[in-house]
A and B are shown apart, each in its own frame.
Chain A
């Protein structure tokens, strides 16, 4: 997607050390490519896992994303950050995997987002102080995984990129090929739905213990 950059963004991009590595990769330097891989593989893995919810798929996606990036590196024109470009490849690969796994059912960023579920808060109970401390590490991980898995892929992708990976709203929009208002609306609903679902575990118990 072609993007018009502000002068500040152009300057930031021009100085970004990734660009130097990308130029080396374009000239066939595999060690520069390995450096980029070491820099971003963990984030790409996390994003892929958040979308697919399957560890093996996520490992394959890391491989496919980086190999595709290497194959297409000449198409990278520096109009966005290299990382955002990489994320876009990873998101497409992840959605493709989901599609394959669900065979007939189409999966896209628009999947299941028509539902109004979770767009209006219903649970107004306060949470316990430091609620995550009421669970051991494994229990907490299980709760968080189960909870995010319940969101439609289009929502959890936006949440993972924006809130976990720390991309800006504009970068998230760019990586997903969505408009900024669409990202904001999905993010709000993702956050509210997660909050609602976590509230079952974290709310102040009424009369009895929550856990």
Chain B
């Protein structure tokens, strides 16, 4: 296996979706190729650092405002659809 073939299988490797035989082949390549080893290791860290960071939190006060705004619109829509008595 060369580095290009290794990269082509990287997504499945991360998602643990590779068959055992292919996984062994990928791991063997990685053991002998420092470039691919570093690529896998640092890509894994990249995913983790983004997953762990709470970059984009929605403050509770804004949540409440948004819910209210949406519910008011929904209420108006419901009222429009209701048959007039």
Q: Tell me the dominant secondary structure on chain A's binding face.
A: helix
User: CB-CB contacts of B4-36 with A at 8 A, as 1s and 0s?
Assistant: 000100111011000000000000000000110
> Which one of A33, A62, A125, A169 lies within 8 Å of B66 (CB-CB)?
A62
> Which one of A30, A58, A125, A140 lies within 8 Å of B74 (CB-CB)?
A30
Inter-subunit contact B71/A127 (CB<8 Å): no
In the assembled complex, B67 has its CB within 8 A of some CB on chain A: yes
C-alpha gap A63/B71 in the complex (Å) = 10
In the assembled complex, A49 has its CB within 8 A of some CB on chain B: yes
Inter-subunit contact B77/A125 (CB<8 Å): no
Count of chain A residues with Cβ under 8 Å from any Cβ of B?
Answer: 48
The stretch of A86-94, A99-107, A190-198 that contacts the partner chain: A190-198
Inter-subunit contact B71/A30 (CB<8 Å): yes
**B interface bracket (residues with beta carbon within 8 Å of A):** 35 or more
Chain B residues within 8 Å of A159, by CB: 50
User: CB-CB contacts of A14-37 with B at 8 A, as 1s and 0s?
Assistant: 000000000000001010011001
> Which one of A33, A66, A184, A191 lies within 8 Å of B47 (CB-CB)?
A191
C-alpha gap A127/B51 in the complex (Å) = 18
Inter-subunit contact A184/B11 (CB<8 Å): yes
Inter-subunit contact B58/A67 (CB<8 Å): no
User: CB-CB contacts of B44-56 with A at 8 A, as 1s and 0s?
Assistant: 0111011101011
Inter-subunit contact A38/B67 (CB<8 Å): yes
Chain B residues within 8 Å of A71, by CB: 77
Within 8 A of B (CB), among A197-211: 198-199, 202
- Nearest B-chain residue to A70, judged by Cβ: B74
Inter-subunit contact B15/A169 (CB<8 Å): yes
In the assembled complex, A173 has its CB within 8 A of some CB on chain B: no
Between-chain CB contacts (< 8 Å), 14 pairs: A37-B70, A41-B63, A50-B56, A124-B39, A127-B42, A131-B49, A132-B53, A144-B50, A159-B50, A164-B51, A192-B7, A192-B39, A195-B39, A202-B45
